[in-house]
Structure 1
């Protein structure tokens, strides 16, 4: 992986240096996106890039490129890196200026970086284990910002418990995973927390709900409790990395019969079909 995008241009990775006073490095003052690549093609690129623009707007960060320009450069990067299956990570910071909590005075150029990472396609995943943790993050989780310390602490709790994900809650109301959205299925209806400031409105989450709507699968966007989740017929989590994956045990307790449920399996199949519609046939 020798190439990256740096401020709109394809550069050799080894030639780029980020200043120690970059505000992303010192304050986490920036936003980011992760886009999945299948068969060398970007999946749901416009949705991801529009969210990048929205996140930047919410923190008053001007994006020096259009969605079309970022997408075109990203395609050039994928070609240069011969990426077939993987991700493109991109971030935009407020730029470099003398350290000060307030926004820089005067004109400061933002810093945009993007690079690729291989991620082989493994197909639909079987059930994983999760733990529950208190949601200690700030109250603007709808912004995909570089401030991820709360998420990191939650994920580490999951790792230390031998689990794949940490499911976060505020006073017993489930919000989302440390790096994912969470949904439950009760009596044939999928339920997920509404897209408020308490969660990131995941792209996979949005596609999931569209698939439910298109295929007549009942769903509601409303809060649910830890107790609701533990008593659910099925639990699943979604993200760019895990796609749609069943959670079959939480805090050591089996969900349902401890196996992937029928609706989750149906949604996995529908999601795979959507990937193939956009990016072509998948190979495992």
Structure 2
């Protein structure tokens, strides 16, 4: 069979998957999610993604299986969806369900575990430089937890769409944090700057990998804040995520970056990222 999802130990068609209306993920957004890219049916950087899943679950006090379980589940998802060559594995784990709605859990619960594998177009080109828009970061202060509570992120994404941008460029009191579903990197005088991995950002696995690739290329990476006041002085700007990989930015509202083209450093990192994918699937 193909096109199956995993829910609490069962492999079923997506339309047959059901959870309790009293699930705490449904009622209180009390859950964690994670996404693992798969290239040519081979998971990419899976151990790092699953370690982040474990950290986030521990941060909100949900007991869940160890990494061996998740790695096996990734393999099973791929096997149960033979028509998908490249895609995204999605995990969601909530605290579970009780018999009625309570603000505080009334006792131990069995976590709800859901997983799916959906197609993603694998690309080898240089994406066209995109526009982003500056927005106040209205989200909560534990952005390092990959929570399913994404209302703030979704409102910001909708505002970016209204402004004709692919993603918001978020800031808190002038300090650039990240995007609604991405991390940002600035290039100035040949050096790379990105927000530090503190509670104000979700430290992306693609972010981590791009930092490593940059260092292999001999580029200096500064994990320190850059600010709204500096945006007009940047030589380049790009964002990273599991789905977009490395995306050059050519415009921030009315500010044109790198003459609207993909900058030299950004292109080096796109090429390095593609090379790492080729090595992975070889």
Under TM normalisation by the shorter chain, which class is it?
A: over 0.9
The answer as to 2:62 corresponding to 1:69 is: no
What is the correspondence of 1:139-178 to structure 2 with a 5 Å cutoff? Answer: 139-178=141-180
Aligned mates of 1:147, 1:41 — CA distance in 2? 29
> CA RMSD of the aligned region, Å?
1.2
Aligned mates of 1:163, 1:122 — CA distance in 2? 21
Q: Any idea what SS the aligned residue of 1:177 has?
A: coil
Which residue of structure 1 lines up, in the alignment, with residue 8 of structure 2?
Answer: 7
Shift of 1:149: 0.7
Which residue of structure 2 lines up, in the alignment, with residue 31 of structure 1?
Answer: 32
Q: What TM-score comes out, normalization by structure 1 length?
A: 0.95
> Which of 248, 259, 262 is equivalent to 1:257?
259
Aligned mates of 2:131, 2:15 — CA distance in 1? 39
1:132-158 Cα offsets, whole Å, 9 max, x none, are: 100011000000001111111110111
In 2, are the aligned partners of 1:2 and 1:14 still within 8 Å (CA)?
A: no
Shift of 1:258: 1.2
1:178-209 Cα offsets, whole Å, 9 max, x none, are: 11000100000000000000000000000011
In 2, are the aligned partners of 1:131 and 1:165 still within 8 Å (CA)?
A: yes
Q: Which moved more, 1:175-184 or 1:210-219?
A: 210-219
Q: Any idea what SS the aligned residue of 2:74 has?
A: helix
1:76-130 Cα offsets, whole Å, 9 max, x none, are: 111221221111111000000121222x222210000001111111333121100
Which residue of structure 1 lines up, in the alignment, with residue 78 of structure 2?
Answer: 78
Q: Any idea what SS the aligned residue of 2:107 has?
A: coil
Aligned mates of 1:46, 1:270 — CA distance in 2? 20
Q: Any idea what SS the aligned residue of 2:259 has?
A: coil
Which residue of structure 2 lines up, in the alignment, with residue 205 of structure 1?
Answer: 207
Q: Any idea what SS the aligned residue of 1:249 has?
A: strand
Which residue of structure 2 lines up, in the alignment, with residue 182 of structure 1?
Answer: 184
1:7-37 Cα offsets, whole Å, 9 max, x none, are: 2443333332111111111111000011111
1:27-55 Cα offsets, whole Å, 9 max, x none, are: 11000011111101111110000100000
